[in-house]
Amino acid sequence: MTTQISTEELTPRAIVSALDRHIVGQAEAKKVVAIALRNRTRRRALEDDLRDEVSPKNIIMIGPTGVGKTEIARRLARLTRAPFVKVEATKYTEIGYVGRDVESMVRDLVETAIKLVREERIVVIRSEAERKARDKLIGILQGGGAGGAESRRATVFTDADTGSGPGAQTSIASREEIARQYDRGELDEREVEVEVQQSSNADGLIGMMGVDESMMGGLREMMEKSFPARSQRSRMSVADARKVLVDQEIDKLLDMDKIKREAIERAEQSGIIFIDELDKIAGQREGHGPDVSRQGVQRDILPIIEGCTVTTKHGQVSTDHVLFIAAGAFHMTKPSDLIPELQGRFPLRVELQSLGAKDFERILTEPEPSLVDQYKALLRTDGVFLDFAEESIVEIARHAADINESTEDIGARRLHTILERVLQDVSFDAPDAARGEVTIDRDYVRTRLEVLTKDQDLSRFIL
């Protein structure tokens, strides 16, 4: 898990150091994004009038697939718990054509921010929700009074109950004794019947109607009133009922209006939108069909990046201070092929380097957690203890570099394919036969890859 850095510690050097723990190389790109992120902290320290005038310095990352463009942006967001969404420019089309509306990227950002803030709030209130759920369940198990209305609507089943119908209620016991048994987990298998809240049908009906997102807020409220959520009695174990009641108590304790307000502010001030495949919509030359559509997409995206207000079901969202990071291979096109207005909104450009054998060796072993560590952990669950000899790491890296050079260069993603091929037999046999320590050496790697790497036509399909 990426370590979160506090605002005070969010220096460019600290950001790069944190990124280095997960991403190999690409020092220049890390430095550029670190400065862009630090500028956000600097901006918050300015006076109000000046703060509004300082706009984010958007970035274009140029480089082949698999060199770390997306991972740098994603890790950057995780460091500060910033709302982050990744979109693909090719999924959008000019207004009037079939495709996603460009404003949906902002709506997705808001939804991500709400989820983020909600998760943070749940961490704070979970202990209180668990305490309230515990009190209700103890009241239910006691069979009355202390559990309030929840107790009177619940049925408690004894261990002798056959399951064909409600059994006799538990014998009268002191609340303290029931609480002690509950805390020790002795009542987890006891069955109770509680009311479970069912979700409203409003979302499904709105989806079937195909209503525009900007109109959905008021419509959803009206539909939820017309089709309110229902509750039904459900029989389950105390352990399962605990989870249900805790979730219900969490929902009661959460102030969703406050969460939405905070989420919108965080999306506006800290949000990061990563636009991939920007090179696929580049092209200024006058043309027909797809060429016209690509320019149309650029012009539709432009207002979002320049700064505008987007209507979402949670309220108005300004994109003035959202950080946009775009990426593309730019093999067939170049950034200057974008329309001039869009080029001007991405003042920072950084080129990421292709990865070679030495880079792959580091990727296999250095990041936290490394690919090798991940495979070791996976197979350890089946009693297999992998030991990668240093020479095997060199061999795997060499094969990955050679295949990228001779076929399509997909960067570090090639390592996943090769490792799966190398460990295929061990992974297959692990649950049944291959137990104990398994050493992966150079000969082991060569045996499983030699035929494929020699036959380039075959490797194109398999590796």
List the chain domain ranges: 12-114+262-351, 115-257, 357-452
At residue 196, the pLDDT reads 80
Domain 357-452, CATH:
1.10.8.60
d(CA 281, CA 85): 19
Distance CA 94, CA 431 (A): 52
pLDDT in the model for residue 161: 44
Strands 315-318, 309-312: parallel, antiparallel or unpaired by DSSP? antiparallel
pLDDT at res. 235:
85
pLDDT at 308: 93
Ranges of the chain whose pLDDT falls below 50: 1, 96-98, 144-171, 214
pLDDT of residue 114: 96
Say what the pLDDT of residue 19 is. 92
Contact 324, 36 (CB under 8 A): no
Decide: 370 and 378 in contact? Cβ < 8 Å: no
Which of 263, 272, 328 shows the shortest CA–CA distance to 36? 272
Whether residue 375 contacts residue 424, with contact meaning beta carbons closer than 8 Å, is answered with: no
Q: What is the 3-state secondary structure (H, E, C) of the chain?
A: CCCCCCCCCCCHHHHHHHHHCCCCCCHHHHHHHHHHHHHHHHHHCCCHHHHHHCCCCCEEEECCCCCCHHHHHHHHHHHHCCCEEEEEHHHECCECECCECCCHHHHHHHHHHHHHHHHHHHHHHHHHHHHHHHHHHHHHHHCCHHHHHHHHCCEEECCCCCCCCCCCCCCCCCHHHHHHHHHCCCCCCCEEEEEEECCCCHHHHHHHHCCCHHHHHHHHHHHHHHCCCCEEEEEEEHHHHHHHHHHHHHHHHCCHHHHHHHHHHHHHHHCEEEEECHHHHCCCCCCCCHHHHHHHHHHHHHHHHHCCEEEECCEEEECCCCEEEEEECCCCCCHHHCCHHHHHCCCEEEECCCCCHHHHHHHHHCCCCCHHHHHHHHHHCCCEEEEECHHHHHHHHHHHHHHHHHCCCCCCHHHHHHHHHHCHHHHHHCCCCCCEEEEECHHHHHHHHHHHHHCHHHHHHHC
* pLDDT (tens digit per residue) in 91-113: 886 554 445 688 999 999 999 99
Distance of alpha carbon 132 from alpha carbon 249, whole angstroms: 7
- Look at residue 182 in the predicted model and tell me its pLDDT: 87
Q: Residue 146's pLDDT is what?
A: 36
Is residue 300 a contact partner of residue 339, using CB atoms and an 8 Å limit?
no
User: Which CATH number is 12-114+262-351 given?
Assistant: 3.40.50.300
